[in-house]
Amino acid sequence: MRSPTIVAALAIMLGGTALSSAQQNAQGAVELSNGTKVSQTPSLPKLKLSTSQREQIRKAALTEHNEVEFRLAATKSAEDFTPAVGAKIPKGVKAQSLPTPVLSQMPELRGCMYVKMKNQVPIVNGMKNTIVDIISET
């Protein structure tokens, strides 16, 4: 059996739910057979942290001992990186899960991570490794 035949047979067996490449649109969404569009590039909603939430994250992050050290070979290339909202964190810099107390108080942050570097705590979109907010350590 040829590949297109297998795909057609599977589509029939699955009730026509198989997707063709023609059903994908330019924005990266896929249209299901019922007309529902499903994004293939999901993103987290914008963060709207209050001052008290930012302070809670700052305090929790400060108790963790995971500051990025630029003397390590893996992170040396990131030494000149300046954290900014929208920037992608450099290779070699690994974001950490937010501390458990933060996630228990703010479950909406489950898709976010953080990095401690250069006296700042950048909050990172865990799906895209981009900085969505920055909290000062001081």
For the chain, the domains span 3-39, 51-136
Q: 51-136 sits in which CATH class?
A: alpha beta
Alpha-carbon distance 37 to 14, whole Å? 18
Task: Please say if the pLDDT value at position 3 is more than 60.
Answer: no
In this prediction, residues 83-108 reach a mean pLDDT of 93
For a pLDDT cut of 90, what percent of the chain falls above it? 44
Confidence (pLDDT) at 45: 57
56 membership: H or E segment, kind and range: helix 51-63
Q: What is the length of the chain?
A: 138
Least confident of 16-20, 90-94, 120-124: 16-20
39 membership: H or E segment, kind and range: strand 37-39
Confidence (pLDDT) at 72: 80
Confidence (pLDDT) at 102: 94
In this prediction, residues 99-104 reach a mean pLDDT of 93
Residue 138 CB coordination number (10 Å): 7
> Is residue 97 very low, low, confident or very high in pLDDT (cuts 50, 70, 90)?
very high
What six digits make up the tokens of 110?
């489950």
8 A C-beta contact, residue 98 and residue 58: no
pLDDT in tens, 7-55: 444 445 445 444 444 444 445 667 878 888 776 665 555 778 999 999 9
Confidence (pLDDT) at 22: 43
Whole-structure pTM over 0.85, yes or no?
no
Alpha-carbon distance 34 to 24, whole Å? 14
DSSP 76-138: GGGTT----TTPBPPTT---EEPPHHHHHH-GGGTTEEE-BBTTEEEEEETTTTEEEEEEE--
Task: Please say if the pLDDT value at position 1 is more than 50.
Answer: no
